[in-house]
Structure 1
Amino acid sequence: MKLLTFTAPTPAEALKMAQKECGEDALVVSTKQIRKKSLTQPALYEIVVAVEDVPPSAKKEPVNVQSPTSKYATSQNVSSIEDPEEVFVNISKVARQISEIAQVSQPEKREPPKKEVSSRASIPNVSHQFEELKDIKNELLKLTDKIKLIQNMVWEEKKPESSSAIPPEFAEIYRIAKASGMDASHLDEIMQLTVEHMPLQMRSSTKTVRRYFQTLLRKMVPVRIETELKPPQKKIMMLVGPTGVGKTTTLAKLAARYAFMMERKYRVGIITLDTYRIGAVEQLMQYAKMMRIGIEAVVDPAEFSIALQALQHMDIILIDTVGSSQYDKEKIDKLKQFLLTRSDIAIDVSLVMSASIKLEDMRSIYQSFSQLGIDTLIFTKLDETRGFGNIFSLVYETEKPVSYLSIGQEVPDDLVCADSDYLVQCLMEGRVKRGVNEHSSE
């Protein structure tokens, strides 16, 4: 066994040199940085590989490689990587090798032989199989080490400047969270908390790193747990938000949920303040007729007080409001006048927003409607996006709990109670997780 040393300005270039000179079978012994980058000279990395000795007769051409005791190779003798994507191609090749070996390692199920076989004949076969499995295991370990080495090199070269203190083993979850649309400052803060509090023994596996990160995210997302009302308790909910986010459809889902889908069937009433939009009242009237729910249409604050009085025997009153741009201060002020009319009654104000909009727009909407006294957040259209980091960032900033999530257009099925586990799964998988009726039927 012979040890050879290769040096280059980057780990990837040094690995490229080793593969070119020694082939893919060379075993990487160590890799380290022997000189940091400065203003006058580039960084220098060293990779030590082990190759088997080849008899002189088997050598075809002499390989001009420096031994561990020789001087470092200069950057002029290092061939630069033609394409950074070659590193990722190598990862794919190694992954395919692992897949092929894994398939070989899974013995096919065979029917037991009908004829009896002597124990003496079976012993050599069992011993041979153990040897093969042992060799396959060793090869898998070598391939896994190569993949980790390449991943660490790529992370060292491409990680953002703001995440200089984040170890390479956290590169995967950092990439997923960043692609989800989470605010960069929030992501760096969460990653630093993960690095600081995560035990060192848990960092050896990407699976444990991912699980710990998900646990931390779940603790940072407040949710409003749906509780059962006990007589004479009553609940009044007002849904506010910009136009086109699905307030009316969400209100219909809530009405059906409270009236028919929960263990206790509540008496539900509806008040609509949305008399400006064409067909808005008719749409709610149709929903109320189908569900046999009382409904009141209100134009001004004086009528709002009368409508509340008319529905006072209901357990739950749901209030639909006119959609308003976050920049239309006049409409938002009018909504505030409705609330001030009955300040003696506790009205739970829920801000409804689409999950598919940018974080900057979410911030602007929350800032404009915050004068109404936002109690909870409801996010709709989760099925129309693949990035959920904006939800985490807004909740993290405002510290307002999430109460419900709308994951489709079906009434009343596509409404689930907010659940931190569900939101974290959506963020990590980049899609809405279907089959979550267990959340909506509790």
Structure 2
Amino acid sequence: MEIVKYEGNNLDELITQAKREYGKDVKIISYEVMNERGFIPFLGKKRYALFIQVPTQEEGFFDVLAKEEKNEEIDKFLEKIEKMIDKKIEPLKNAIVKGDSALLDLPAHAAQNSKLDFAQEFKEFTGDALDLIRLLLKKDVDPKVAKMLVKESCGLDIDANKFDLNTSFFKEALVNAIEKKIKFKGPLKIQKGAFKVISFVGPTGVGKTTNLFKIASELVLNQKLKIAVISIDTFKVGAIQQARSFSNILNIPFFAITDSKNLKKTLQNLSGIDVVLIDTVGRSHYDYWRLGEMKEILGSGSDFMDISLVISCNYKNSEAIEIVNRYRTFFPISDIFFTKIDETYKPGILLNLPIKTDIPVSFISTGQKVPEDIRILTPERMANYILGESL
């Protein structure tokens, strides 16, 4: 793909030009707002930079084949590929017949080694404890985390001289361990007139705006609090419009700002408000410059506000750890807010992340609907997600 940049003083005209040149379905990635300096500073014009994505034509292997006349050499080549594929998937067919789902992604020799590694890694456990560990590993729980949690609910089996669960129920054992090892922030209990400030930060696409308004709906509709929303996401196309629409539905004040002075001034002028929710622009955890820019916009307010880090449950565990570690170098993270639990069947991140980072967990998003698709995380609910039980 190719990224094309347009610059001008009218964003609508830039979008129209892009659609005229590349078609009405052109993909708009983002835009930036810049202030042009004039002889009189406060009369400077706004200048926009619009970025669009233009697909490039790439010719692949099968495109080449399609252009060639069908001949015996191509037929033989494709037949050879089919035989290679059949040979590779034969072990998987046998695994399916035997019902050995844990080994479906492994060739025969790797599966055997996996069994040996498991026996060696968890040789101190027996019985139900081993079964629970196997289940946790299938859910993408880190082996060290799984071992630590299961051991919390074990006693010593005298006959085997190994650890086994001291309860017959996996959920009871897991809940007991989670209560001891993971911190939970619990429900938002905010007194009227408290002037609480909560900011939501995190990478692009994790659902910060949608889930912010799920929280806002709870505070307005159920707790009858006076809420204001501030957005500093002026980078993504449509972000301000979406936030403003949600605010209008809830009939709450909404502000869009671009710098730290405006944020400080806006907060000072919000009299009679109980809670201020701040929506931030999604930033890559590898983009230190952008993260620093966002920290500057939040300014000194980050010292007294709660900063909730929003993480998607479909992230790989290693990437999620990296996100937390990089964001916490810029912001005092108060809690982890999980989203998109409905988009993964391996939610091991729910256990791995809070245990490895020692950061409390707060909420979990279960879908896109506002305001109903959100839950307060509890040990019981977390265990249910891991075990795949109904909620």
What TM-score do you get using the length of structure 1 for normalisation?
A: 0.59
Residues 1:279 and 2:238 aligned together: yes
Q: Deviations over 1:99-155 (max 9, x none)?
A: xxxxxxxxxxxxxxxxxxxxxxxxxxxxxxxxxxxxxxxxxxxxxxxxxxxxxxxx9
Output the CA distance in 1 between the equivalents of 2:364 and 2:379: 11
Name 1:167's counterpart in structure 2.
Answer: 126
Pair 1:377–1:209, CA change in 2 (3 A): closer
Which residue identity lines up with residue 220 of structure 1 in the other structure? Answer: K
Equivalent positions of 1:4-23 (< 5 A) are none
Matching residue of 2:72: none
Asked whether the 8 Å contact 1:268–1:318 carries over to 2, the reply is: yes
Deviates more, 1:199-208 or 1:288-297: 199-208
State whether residues 166 and 191 of structure 1, in contact with CA within 8 Å, keep that contact through their aligned partners in structure 2: no
Q: Say which of 344, 352, 376 aligns to 1:385.
A: 344
Amino acid at match of 1:376: D
When structure 1 is superposed on structure 2, of 356-365 and 183-192 the one drifting more is 183-192
The answer on 1:357 being equivalent to 2:315 is yes
In 2, the alpha carbon distance for the partners of 1:200 and 1:405 equals 41
Q: 2:184 matched to which residue of 1? A: 223
**2:17 alignment counterpart:** none
> Contact 2:258 / 2:297 at 8 angstroms: preserved in 1?
no
Q: Does 1:243 align with 2:198?
A: no
Unaligned runs of 5+ residues in structure 1 are 1-82, 90-154, 435-442
Letter in 2 for 1:338: I
Q: Equivalent residue for 1:304? A: 263
The C-alpha deviation readout for 1:37-96, integer Å capped at 9, x for no partner, is xxxxxxxxxxxxxxxxxxxxxxxxxxxxxxxxxxxxxxxxxxxxxx8999879xxxxxxx
Residues 1:415 and 2:383 are matched in the alignment: no
**Contact 1:273 1:297 (8 Å CA) reproduced:** yes
Aligned to 1:331: 290
Q: Name the Cα RMSD after superposition.
A: 2.8
Q: Which moved more, 1:271-280 or 1:389-398?
A: 389-398
The corresponding residue for 1:252 is: 213
Question: SS at the partner of 1:378?
Answer: strand
In 2, the alpha carbon distance for the partners of 1:275 and 1:84 equals 52
Residue type matched to 1:189 in 2? M
Pick aligned residue for 1:294 from 235, 250, 253: 253
1:367 to 303, 325, 331: 325
Within a 5 Å distance, the mapping from 1:78-157 to structure 2 comes to: none
The one-letter code sitting in structure 1 at the alignment partner of 2:294 is L
The equivalent of 1:54 in structure 2 is none
The aligned residue for residue 340 of structure 1 is: 299
Distance in 2 (alpha carbons) for counterparts of 1:285 and 1:315? 19
Question: Post-superposition shift, 1:227?
Answer: 4.4
Greater RCO (Cα-Cα under 8 Å, separation 6 or more): 2
Q: Structure 1 residues 383 and 407, CA, compared in 2 at 3 Å: closer, same or farther?
A: same
- Bigger share in strand: 2
Quickly say closer, same or farther: Cα 1:419–1:192, change in 2 above 3 A.
Answer: closer
Question: Is 2:363–2:375's contact at 8 Å kept on the other side of the alignment?
Answer: yes
Give the match for residue 189 of structure 1: 148
Paired residue for 2:354, among 371, 395, 398? 395
- Name structure 2 gaps, 5 residues minimum: 1-93, 101-113
C-alpha distance in structure 2 between counterparts of 1:313 and 1:359, whole Å: 42
Q: What do residues 365-407 of structure 1 show as CA deviations (whole Å, max 9, x unaligned)? A: 1011102110111000011111121121110011111111110
Task: Find the aligned partners of 1:362 and 1:292 in 2 and give their Cα distance.
Answer: 35
Q: Verify the 8 A CA contact 2:220 2:226 in the aligned structure 1.
A: yes
Alignment of 1:28-43 (within 5 A): none
Instruction: Report Cα offsets for 1:182-228 as digits up to 9, x if no partner.
Output: 11122223333433x46879959973465324321233221102243
The answer to whether the Cα contact below 8 Å between 2:314 and 2:344 also exists between their aligned partners in 1 is: yes
